[in-house]
Amino acid sequence: MSELIQAVLKSEERSNFRQFASLLRSADKKYLLRNEILQLFNEKSEQFSDSPNLQKLIRYVQEIILENDFFCLIIRPRIAKQEAYRILEDLTVEPMSVQELLDLRDRFVNHYHPQEGDVYEIDFAPFYDYSPVLRDPKNIGKGVEYLNRFLSSQLFQDEKKGQVSLYQFLQLHRYNGLQLLINERIRSTEELSDRVKQALGIVSDRDPNDPYQTFRFELQDLGFEPGWGNTAARVRETLEILDQLIDSPDHQTLDAFISRIPMIFRVALISPHGWFGQEGVLGRPDTGGQVVYILDQVKSLEKQLQEDLELAGLAILGVQPKVIVLTRLIPNSDGTLCNQRLEKIYGTTDAWILRVPFREFNPHLTQNWISRFEIWPYLETFAIDAERELRAEFQGRPDLIIGNYSDGNLVAFLLARRLKVTHCIIAHALEKSKYLFSNLYWQDLEDKYHFSLQFTADLIAMNAANFIISSTYQEIVGTPESVGQYESYKSFTMPDLYHVVDGIELFSPKFNVVPPGVNEAVFFPFTRTEDRLLNDRERLENLLFYDDDPEQIYGKLDNPDKRPLFSMARLDRIKNLTGLAETYGQSESLQERCNLILIAGKLRTDDSTDHEEISEIEKLYEIIDRYQLKGKIRWLGVRLPKIDTGEVYRVIADREGIFVQPALFEAFGLTILEAMVTGLPMFATRFGGPLEIIQNKVNGFYINPTNYEETAEVILEFLDQCDRDPHYWSQISQRGIERVYSTYTWKIHTTRLLSLAKIYGFWNYTSQDHREDMMRYIESLFYLLYRPRAQGLLAEQLQRS
């Protein structure tokens, strides 16, 4: 990128660059972000029309920081790559190191103190020297594919060493003390190869459909225990893959074989934050989407595990999987079951919610729900107590731990470290990306958000995890125009606390994109009338359009037959339902053609304790009054059971309505999938995950929720096309349904997740020594940085109570 800067400065474009620098100096702001830079440049675009290199350079600039005698260009020449340059008054260009850039940001907020010595630096880069890294940014998020190629080449480069590792790995597997796969009759890698060929002779002579138990003892005499398959055909396929892996190993064969091994019987999913249950918890602050995601994932996980274990031939041993969601027990549970230790998950055989209470350091707080921003002091002891409870429920260790959100990911690290278990994390959303400059101004925000703890916990968890599940590619590294959520942790400053020089290796194969699915029993196309219940349909139609209940409904529609413009979300700033109401209020054309229907939590500020929700409630009422929307808008302050949510979407679709998802940022967008699969044309934010779900103008539409006029134009253009072509609504509807079924099902998700867990479990086994130094570094961050701050927060909470 320095070459492009020099191309500008050593040509006739130099004068235009100087003009642009002067333009920057005249701006009110001293710290400009990409959109502001582009807006400033475009306002004077005529002046720079003859400067193609300058135009190209500006497109790559992410930030500009102005100081007295120079300004700093922070450039993102490509995804996952950042460079910084100091431009002096005489237009001399000097590259800046990461440390210099972080110092500059500290100076910008008046927290640079060189006389007090160097600030503490966090740098994970040296610990990734031991592990493979991808080269092409396009392959980020496809880590396991690269890992398999790397493993097979490294592991079997020394054929003898690779075979020994494989042999030892096969010896490990047991279930409740029962040996699986191979027993002591196979004493070496040479014997393993010979016995595989003998076993193939036995099963090849049998009818492919012969059950495993009819030839079990013949294989046992050779040294093979259950786990190879449930029929002669399945056993033969598995043994043939192993035979090929021994004789001529490659990454596809390794993947195929490891994916078949019965390694996972017990899974623990960690979500300690609270209000985790099946009834009466949705709509609580911070919990709704995560609860829905995990419960759907659990049901699919159990089903897939049952299928895998059946195929492995373990039914004869009575092997059944068990799945536990670990959360906290809340004594003051507000009428929910959150004060019960165990709760069976509906629709499962052996899946449970296990609730462990926080220790009573501060009973005034721990008896009740605790905000995700205040939870940090209780997580370490929660992990210690939870280990004992999990061991008791599983009657042993889990085989896989899955962390959820920042708090769950930290607990997953603590548990996995103590239990020596493979673990993965799922961020769902990282707060650092949601709150602009949250790290730079952390001290001003600490009383409310405690970002110093959260961002430290994120760094610990993402580096400790064996693998990371993201819902989209851009969750990791963004787009050419925007920085990804994980990418934002690459380098940043927490002034007066620490500098992150290298916070995460974005090219690590630990990253894998595995999007969630939809619950197909609840969310299905509105055209499947045979699966819909007439009573539910009528009841919810009345709720949406006709019922008069001031306790939970605001607004009576003048003309209920207008096309419904529908949205459903929490009332918080990021979800931006007030922005949608503003869009509707500013567009008389939308008001003439549509009613706005919102399902949005609460109607009254007195019913909420969440400051952000209270602010949004007040704002929504103000917008309704300002634009005189009475008779055109209907606001339902209800919490719907999931099964009703699916039918609500279908009722809107019956009237050829549309769904608008106006979030300022959406990490993924599960509601988008749920609405699309029911048949609703989707209009969703272009900021975040929806960019990867929707194909614009094919099966949905992008909107810029910050531009009300443009959003209205996109919707009106669709409505105009519907008027011109009576089949257009149905075409978009059907394409949305097809998009979900082809890519976003829980079957696809859990099959992939379990395959990843096995591959990374194998990788973890073969490279334990290479991870220990990183884990020791992570522990030092936890005990020397995280724990003292958590204890400090606890002291503050005790003073407040």
Tens of pLDDT, residue by residue over 389-426, are 999 999 999 999 999 999 999 999 999 999 999 999 99
Question: pLDDT band at residue 28, thresholds of 50, 70 and 90?
Answer: confident
Cα–Cα distance, 610 to 622 (Å, whole number): 19
Q: Tokens representing 781?
A: 């961050």
Residue 156, pLDDT > 90, answer no
Whether 497 shows a pLDDT value over 70: the answer reads yes
Side chain identity at residue 220, one-letter code: Q
Rounded Cα distance, 671 and 452, in Å? 31
In whole angstroms, what is the distance from residue 569 CA to residue 599 CA? 7
For residue 163, name the pLDDT band (cuts at 50, 70, 90). confident
Report the alpha-carbon distance of residue 706 to residue 605 in Å, rounded.
Answer: 25
Tokens of 524: 């299905």
Residue-number span of the structural domain to which 219 is assigned: 157-248
- Neighbouring CB atoms inside 10 A of 569's CB total 21
Per-residue pLDDT tens digits for 364-388:
889 999 988 999 999 999 999 999 9
User: Residue 288's pLDDT band (boundaries 50, 70, 90)?
Assistant: low
617: Cβ–Cβ under 8 A, 6 or more apart, which residues? 571, 602, 603, 604, 605, 608
How sure is the predictor about 283, in pLDDT bands with cuts at 50, 70 and 90?
low
Pair 656, 768 in one domain? no
As a whole number of angstroms, the distance between CA 21 and CA 58 comes to 12
Q: What is the CATH number of the domain that holds 188?
A: 1.20.120.1230
Residue whose entry in the numeric block shows the structure tokens 């019960």: 340
| Strand arrangement, sheet containing 266-270 | 342-344, 351-357, 322-329, 266-270, 400-404, 423-426, 467-470, 511-513
User: Structural domain tally of the chain?
Assistant: 4
- What phi and psi, each to the nearest 5 degrees, are found at residue 181? 70, -75
Query: What average pLDDT does this structure show over 50-64?
Result: 92
Residue 435, by phi and psi: left (phi above 0), alpha (psi -120 to 50) or beta? beta
Cα separation, 488 vs 505, whole angstroms: 12
What is the pLDDT confidence band of residue 286, given thresholds at 50, 70 and 90? low
Asked if 481 contacts 431 with a C-beta cutoff of 8 angstroms, the reply is: no
Which residue, 566, 538, 573, 748, is CA-closest to 672? 566
User: Within 10 Å of residue 437's Cβ, how many Cβ atoms?
Assistant: 15
Is residue 201 within 8 Å of 281, Cβ to Cβ? no
Q: Is the dihedral of CA 132, 138, 141, 145 positive or negative?
A: negative
Mean pLDDT of 235-254: 92
3-state secondary structure at position 424: strand
Q: CB-based contacts of 15: which residues, under 8 Å, 6+ apart?
A: none
pLDDT average, residue stretch 122-130: 92
Using a CB cutoff of 8 Å and minimum separation of 24, what contacts does 45-54 make? 47/16, 47/19, 48/16, 48/19, 48/20, 50/12, 50/13, 50/16, 51/8, 51/13, 51/16, 51/17, 53/4, 53/7, 53/8, 53/11, 53/13, 54/8, 54/13, 54/16, 54/17, 54/20
Instruction: Examine the domain organization and report whether 288 and 168 are in the same domain.
Output: no
Share of the chain above pLDDT 90, in %: 73
Q: Is the dihedral of CA 585, 590, 593, 595 positive or negative?
A: negative
Average pLDDT, the chain: 92
Nearest to 131 by CA among 773, 781, 777: 773
Of residues 249 and 186, the one with the higher pLDDT is: 186
DSSP string of 201-231, one letter each residue? HHHHTS-TT-BGGGTHHHHHHHTB-S-S-SB
Whether 115 maps to a domain, the answer reads no
Average the pLDDT over 670-697 and give the result: 92
Asked whether residue 723 falls in the same domain as residue 634, the answer is yes
Please indicate, yes or no, if residue 562 is contained in any of the structural domains. yes
Same domain, 328 and 422: yes
pLDDT band at 1 (very low <50, low <70, confident <90, very high): low
Backbone angle region of 437, left / alpha / beta, with phi > 0 → left and psi within -120 to 50 → alpha: left
pLDDT of 26 higher than 90: no
Considering only the C-alpha atoms of the chain, give the largest distance between any 2 of them, rounded to a whole number of Å.
86
CATH number of the domain at 66, please. 3.10.450.330
- Residue (of 238, 267, 79) closest to 756 by Cα position: 267
pLDDT in tens, 736-752: 999 999 999 999 999 99
User: At how many degrees (to 10) do helices 2-9 and 52-60 cross?
Assistant: 150
Q: Answer yes or no: is 18 within a domain.
A: yes
Within a domain: 522? no
Residue 30 lies in a domain: yes
Whether residue 511 sits in one domain with residue 653:
no
- What is the per-residue pLDDT for 285? 64
pLDDT at 362 over 90: no
What is the chain's percent helix, strand, coil content, to nearest 5? 50, 15, 35
Say what the pLDDT of residue 153 is.
79
**Same-domain pairing of 653 and 775:** no
- Record the tokens describing residue 393, joined without a space: 């429920």
- Nearest CA to 183 out of 239, 217, 223, 242 is that of 223
The pLDDT of residue 43: 85
What integer is the mean pLDDT of 256-265? 94
- Give the pLDDT confidence of 76-100 residue by residue, as tens digits: 999 999 999 999 988 899 999 999 9
Q: What angle do CA 154, 156, 158 make, to 5 degrees?
A: 90
Task: Tell me if 113 is assigned to some domain.
Answer: no
User: What contacts 291, CB < 8 A, 6 or more positions away?
Assistant: 271, 275, 276, 277, 281, 282
How many beta carbons lie within 10 A of that of residue 15, not counting itself?
A: 10
- If asked whether residues 207 and 277 sit together in one domain, one would say no
- Please tell me the distance from the alpha carbon of residue 389 to that of residue 395, in angstroms, as a whole number: 10
Q: What is the pTM of this model?
A: 0.88
Residue 151 has pLDDT above 80, yes or no: no
| Mean pLDDT to the nearest integer, 448-474 | 96
Closest CA to 651 of 742, 759, 536: 536
CATH number of the domain at 277, please.
3.40.50.2000
pLDDT band at 266 (very low <50, low <70, confident <90, very high): very high
Taking only the tens place, the pLDDT of each residue in 551-603 is: 899 999 999 999 999 999 988 888 999 999 999 999 999 999 999 999 997 89
Both 199 and 328 in a single domain? no
Last residue of a domain, one of 248, 279, 297: 248
Two tokens at 444? Answer: 């001003």
- Reduced to 3 states (helix: H, G, I; strand: E, B; else coil), residue 502 is strand
Last residue of a domain, one of 744, 761, 787: 744
**350: its two tokens:** 């052996």
Same domain for 344 and 413, yes or no, is yes
DSSP per residue, 232-264: HHHHHHHHHHHHHHHHS--HHHHHHHHHHS---
- Looking at 45, 78, 96, the residue that finishes a domain is 96
Both tokens assigned to 46: 């005529």
Lowest average pLDDT, out of 49-58, 136-145, 655-664, 763-772, goes to: 763-772
Residues 206 and 313 in one domain: no
**Claim to verify: residue 587 and residue 538 sit in the same structural domain:** yes
Q: Is residue 44 part of a domain?
A: yes
- The residues with which 227 forms a beta bridge, in sequence order, are none
Q: Indicate whether 726 belongs to any domain.
A: yes
Residue 730 shares a structural domain with residue 605: yes
Runs of H (alpha helix) within 465-609: 473-477, 534-545, 577-586, 588-593
Rounded to an integer, the average pLDDT of 328-346 is 95
